[in-house]
């Protein structure tokens, strides 16, 4: 019995290109590029599993092929499972991208204004000294006053087709 375990070099290069391109696209801000990146990484890993499974053999059915000539069915089963998982994840990401497009008119992941505000305050070393914000309100008071962006302006949203971006009182850099 001679088992050929040397991988096909062209398939290894294909795996490297798919995974490398997928990682590059995954680091973009556009959700559509993230989805394409995840699909490329998934396909690259699937090819890697098939390459790692060894050379192709006969079908793994008793009576059809001698046991030493059968291919290993485990990598094929793992790839089939990975394809199904990737399909579910891609559907979820497509739904997120569509919802982002409905709300903002594009599918780019935005910086969170609150995160930027906290980062600015941390850079000025203001977070450790204070328990209230610039208006003097505590976190509990801010939470009680937080507006629900989904509860108002239903008619305007339906007319325009998407939600305008909501800005806080402290978002001077984001205002036009």
Tell me: pLDDT of 133 over 50. Answer: yes
Task: State how far the alpha carbon of 127 is from the alpha carbons of 88, 135, 144, in Å.
Answer: 41, 14, 21
Q: Is residue 145 part of a domain?
A: no
The answer to whether residue 44 sits within a structural domain is yes
Q: Is residue 48 part of a domain?
A: yes
CATH label of the domain that carries residue 74: 1.10.287.3510
In terms of phi and psi (left: phi > 0; alpha: psi -120 to 50; beta: otherwise), the region of 163 is: beta
> Does residue 156 fall inside a structural domain?
no
CB 100 within 8 A of CB 106: yes
3-class SS at 53? coil
Residue 157 is assigned to a structural domain of this protein: no
How far is residue 174 CA from its own chain's centroid?
26
Domain membership of residue 21 (yes or no) is yes
Q: Which domain holds residue 104?
A: 9-60+69-126
pLDDT attached to residue 26: 92
- Smallest CA-to-CA distance from 168 within 101, 115, 129 is with 115
114: Cβ contacts below 8 Å, ≥ 6 apart: 168
Percent of the chain topping pLDDT 70: 69
* Count of structural domains within the chain: 1
For range 96-119, the mean pLDDT: 83
| pLDDT tens sequence across 12-55 | 999 999 999 999 999 988 889 999 999 999 999 999 998 888 87
In a domain, 136, yes or no: no
Residue 91 lies in a domain: yes
Q: Which residues contact 117 (CB under 8 A, 6 or more apart)?
A: 168, 170, 171
């Amino acid at each position: 019995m001679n088992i050929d375990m040397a991988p096909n070099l062209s398939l290894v290069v294909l795996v490297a290109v798919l995974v490398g391109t997928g990682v590059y696209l995954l680091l973009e801000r556009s959700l559509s590029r993230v989805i394409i990146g995840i699909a490329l990484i998934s396909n690259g890993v699937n090819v890697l599993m098939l390459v790692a499974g060894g050379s192709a053999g006969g079908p793994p059915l008793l009576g059809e092929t001698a046991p030493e000539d059968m291919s290993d069915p485990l990598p094929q089963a793992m790839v089939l499972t990975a394809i199904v998982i990737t399909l579910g994840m891609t559907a979820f990401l497509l739904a997120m991208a569509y919802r982002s497009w409905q709300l903002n008119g594009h599918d780019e992941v935005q910086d969170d204004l609150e995160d930027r505000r906290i980062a600015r305050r941390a850079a000025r070393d203001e977070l450790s000294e204070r328990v209230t914000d610039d208006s003097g309100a505590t976190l509990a008071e801010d939470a009680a006053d937080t507006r629900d962006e989904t509860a108002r302006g239903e008619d305007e949203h339906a007319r325009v087709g998407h939600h305008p971006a909501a800005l806080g009182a402290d978002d001077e850099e984001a205002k036009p």
